[in-house]
Structure 1
Amino acid sequence: MKKIHLLLLKSFIRPFLSTFLIVMFLLLMLFLWKYIDDLIGKGFQWYIILELMAYASATNVAMALPLSVLLSSIMTYGSLGENYELVAIKSAGISLTRAMYPIFIVVCILSVSAFLFSDYMLPIANLKYYSLLYDAREQKSANFLPEGVFSNSFSNNTIRVQRKDPDGQTLYGLTIYSKDPAKNTSFMVIAKQGKMYRSFDDKFLVIELKDGIRYEENSGSGSGVYMPRRVFIRQRFTSTAQKLDLSGITSIKRTDESAFKSAFQMMNIRLLKDTIKILDRKLDSIKVTNYTMMTPYIKYLSLPKKPTTDSVKAIAYQSDWFKKQPLNEQLQAITNAQNEARSITDMLKMRVAAIDAPVKDQRSAFAQYQVKFTLSASCLALFLIGAPMGAIIRKGGLGLPVVISVAFFLLFYIIKTIGEKAAHEGNMSGIVGAWIAIFLITPIGMFLSYKAATDSPIFDMENYRRFFDQAASFVKKTIGRKFN
């Protein structure tokens, strides 16, 4: 490997790793900001939050990787141009295309890795992430005892707290209704003050009650002797403790992941192909069923027994023949035609719901199949923009390159999101919707590569100022000649 190639690779890999980590961190903070209300106050163990953050980071690779390629390529070639290293490379007889060659190979390797990640790892990460996020959002709040509300968070217990101190542990005006289904007994506790805390193993919530009364009612049966009368017991206490089980509250209840596997984001290319084939066969079956049901309603045309793409030849309407018929037969023919058209319309309206859902699924599956390839293609397309852009602006670091990179990436991401949404909704073809952002920015990258290779001063503001000054002077001379 030539020294110049090694220099370029070192100049690219360092900013790529740093920008990738920074973008991943920012996207992770955005995830926490978005779902902070669904995660805080539910008593999750620390490893549950860490697991959810890991899955969220894996799903963010699809956005972080293209942006990192764009940022690092602009920073690399901008820094080389700012330090006149790019000029030295060109003076040695090495063109910009050859200078882009080693980094282009690295980006191609990243693109292949991105495709493999999108096909193998991303569906698993999406499945784990969305299933865990759904369970976390469905989890009950860990604010077990809100003020002034009868809380049923604990099984067989209803607790009301009149007031709580700001520390959230000191309670006032407690009322506890508890029932033991095994012994068929129940009791009520009323206390003026209490304090709650968790046990050392985090399995129980302990409430220390002070200055209260306990009312208990049971059947009175004991020692095998049946007593028809019930026993009522009243006890006064200065201090006691009530222990409540937390196992069904703090531990997150996981939903079976198979319930989420039908989503297209959780499928790889092979599963998407099989799903598209199944949906195509289902649509063909529905079309045959609709055709069979519609055929008996058409009485005045001879239709083939099976659906066909060939047009059905209808008999030309002969107005002279219709006018020669008696008036009652004309009215009867018009009535029959209206009834037939109305029957076919009503039947088709009923069958729309049966075909609408499979059509949407087939469209979404095909669009998602195309999206699998766009991640790797977007890395190459954004590199074609970033590398020549950095060579043109000749600015390194995190200043102007970051602004330009974010502007291009926002344009790319907005177009990509709109195209994919239109493809899923059927407003655009699946291929066009998934690839429209690539189709639009690739010519821009090729144009910038040409300008950078020919040392075109595309961002030289002095040239633009000189052009507008010449245009203004030309307009003034033209206007002066016209009035003279």
Structure 2
Amino acid sequence: MKKLDKLILGSFIGPFLLTFLVVDFILLTVNMLKYFDEIFGKGLGFWIYMELISYFVISISPMALPLAVLLSSLMTFGNLGEHFELTAIKSSGISLIRALRPIGVFVIILAFAAYLSNNHLVPKVNLKTFSLLYDIRMKSPALDIKEGVFYDGIPGYSIKVNRKLDDVRLRDIIIYNHNEGQGNLNVTLADSGRMEPFFNDNYMRLTLYKGTNYKESRATRGISEKPVEFSRATFDENVIIFNLDAFQLSRTPEDLWSTNRAIKDISGIKKGLDSINTLVNDKVYQNYQAAESVYPFFTRERKLEPLPHIKERRAFDDSIRQVKMERERAITDSLGRIKEKQDSAKRAEVILNRPTDSISDGKNLKGNVVNSTKALANDSLFQQKRLINRGNTINKEKESENDSSKVPVLNKTVQVKKKRTTPLTSEEKARIDSIVYQQGYITNALTMAMNNSRNLKNSFDIKKAQIDTDQREYRRYQISWYQKYTQAFACFVMFLIGAPLGAIIKKGGLGMPVLISIIFFIIYYMLTISGEKWAKEGIVDPLFGTWFSNLCLLPFGLFFLKQARNDTRLFEPDFYLGIWKSLQKHLKVLGPNRI
């Protein structure tokens, strides 16, 4: 590496790290404000907050990298131009493209690292972030009973304390017990009390002094109902134990978030796309079958066949399902055979290890075996005899049937109906038409046709809404796939904009560079949001929608690079005055010709 490369790269690394930290902190603050009411005020530990913040920092880094590259490259070349170092470099015969090379190589490596982070690191971090955020949301707020206000944070109870001496001692307490779900029918009043958590803050002991408990049963509806039961009990000391499980942070298994597209890498997104495509194709195929069943008259002679690509996809999916079923069946069969072998081995081991007490037991056992074999032989002979007798009876029945079939049938007349070949007369036609109109067959047919049409339309509307939802999710998966490339490529685009602009304005620091960087980043963000929204709604292709911001800003970068090579002063009034004067000259030249 030459001294020039070290100089330029060294002047870039410092501002890049600084701006990256600043931008990451700003985006972190904006992101944390979305969940401020949900994560704060719940009595969580310091390390829980640090874990959540670290997850947020990693997940928003892909958005912070383009802005950091834009601002740091603009500041670097602005400082070089302000201190005439860039002028010295150009005067020594080194072009601007050569001066941009070290930072360009660094940005390319950074873009590749951003792609790897988007594909491998960020999905895992998003999985942990979603899981931790869900657990924090489900956690109840910290136990904080205030004076004169009913507190219902403890499930099943509503507590009011009119005076708190400290965090333990309480005065004038009212407790409504709602565990039975019957309203305010169980009330406890106490003069004073003590509130003390125990067992690692999993339970709370509330000791009440000098109070009364009022309990009333709920009245049942009826004309002649008995008076409800009412009880009143006074006490000098009463202890109530509250379960504080709702106030503890319980971690949810991360497998519950396995279907979210934000936690998938490219391979997982491709599998999700294939699954959604299969689901949509099945629904379209079912629509064809539903239409064919609703209109049997039109499909009697011909079938309502789906399109060829739908049939091919259906056959492909069925073949995959068949392969999966065969694999699962083979696994279950192999497990069953292994289990049978194990059971047979255990039975053989039990028989071999069976104890024999004496020779007499062996003889008795032998006798029993002989008797059992004789019994089995007798049973088999009996079964054979039964089968032989049954075969004889069946043969006799068949012979009797054959004999009866040979007997001629007497005194039986057979009537043969002849088909009519002559056409219907006008009277017969009028009679048939009158029957059709009088019985309402045409009206019934029209009503049935209208009902079938309505049913088919309703079914199609429902299926269309389902397919639209699935296709929208399909486009979102595509957007998540392409974002892993576009966010990395945006670093290179921002470098093409920032470095030439710094060489043009020739001002460093945090004044003009920060303003220009914010303007271009806002433009980039607006274009990104617009393109993704168009892609989600299906207005444009998801590939074009995700690359829309980069395609719009890339010409600006190339234009600024061309102007920087020509030492054009875009941000000075003299440049625009020269353009205006040249336009006036051309207008004066064209003026007489027009006359």
Q: Which residue in the other structure is 1:26 paired with?
A: 26
Confirm or deny that 1:57 pairs with 2:57: yes
SS in 2 for 1:190: strand
Matches within 5 A, 1:91-110: 91-110=91-110
Contact 2:38 2:137 in 1 (8 A): yes
Contact 1:27 1:60 in 2 (8 A): yes
Confirm or deny that 1:395 pairs with 2:395: no
Identity %: 33
Q: Which residue in the other structure is 1:452 paired with?
A: 564
**CA distance 1:477–1:304, change in 2 (3 Å):** closer
How far the C-alpha of 1:207 sits from its partner, in A, is 5.3
Counterpart Cα distance in 2 of 1:166 and 1:57: 43
Contact 2:158 2:175 in 1 (8 A): yes
Aligned pairs, how many?
A: 439
CA shift digits 1:298-342 (9 cap, x unpaired): 7558556342479xxxxxxxxxxxxxxxxx9xxx8x979984765
Q: Which residue in the other structure is 2:9 paired with?
A: 9
**CA distance 1:61–1:191, change in 2 (3 Å):** same
**CA distance 1:4–1:282, change in 2 (3 Å):** same
Contact 1:148 1:160 in 2 (8 A): no
Paired AA for residue 292 in structure 1: Q
Q: Which residue in the other structure is 1:316 paired with?
A: none
How far the C-alpha of 1:429 sits from its partner, in A, is 1.2
How big is the alpha-carbon RMSD for the aligned residues of Structure 1 and Structure 2? Answer: 3.9
SS in 1 for 2:250: coil
**CA distance 1:47–1:198, change in 2 (3 Å):** farther
Report which stretch shifted further, 470-479 or 362-371: 470-479
Contact 1:363 1:430 in 2 (8 A): yes
Larger-gyration structure (1/2): 2
Confirm or deny that 1:74 pairs with 2:74: yes
Confirm or deny that 1:158 pairs with 2:157: yes
SS in 1 for 2:279: helix
Q: Which residue in the other structure is 2:257 paired with?
A: 260
Among residues 542, 547, 555, which one is paired with 1:435 in the alignment? 547
Paired AA for residue 66 in structure 1: P
Matches within 5 A, 1:56-455: 56-145=56-145, 151=151, 153-154=153-154, 158-164=157-163, 171-176=170-175, 190-194=189-193, 196=195, 201-205=200-204, 212-213=210-211, 234-236=234-236, 244-246=242-244, 248-296=245-293, 297=295, 299=297, 302=302, 305-308=305-308, 339=450, 344-455=456-567
CA shift digits 1:97-116 (9 cap, x unpaired): 01110111100110000000
How far the C-alpha of 1:206 sits from its partner, in A, is 5.8
Paired AA for residue 564 in structure 2: A
Paired AA for residue 468 in structure 2: D
How far the C-alpha of 1:42 sits from its partner, in A, is 1.2
Contact 2:62 2:487 in 1 (8 A): yes
Query: TM-score, length-normalised on structure 1?
Result: 0.79
Contact 2:493 2:550 in 1 (8 A): yes
Is there any run of 5+ residues in structure 2 with no aligned partner, and where?
Answer: 181-185, 216-230, 311-432, 434-441
**CA distance 1:215–1:258, change in 2 (3 Å):** same
SS in 2 for 1:18: helix
Counterpart Cα distance in 1 of 2:259 and 2:521: 31
Q: Which residue in the other structure is 2:574 paired with?
A: 462
Query: TM-score, length-normalised on structure 2?
Result: 0.65
SS in 1 for 2:35: helix
Contact 1:153 1:249 in 2 (8 A): no
Which structure is higher in helix share? Answer: 2
CA shift digits 1:347-400 (9 cap, x unpaired): 422422342332222121112111111111111111110110111111111111
Counterpart Cα distance in 2 of 1:261 and 1:39: 23
CA shift digits 1:252-308 (9 cap, x unpaired): 133332222211111110011111122222222222221222235275585563424
Contact 1:81 1:395 in 2 (8 A): yes
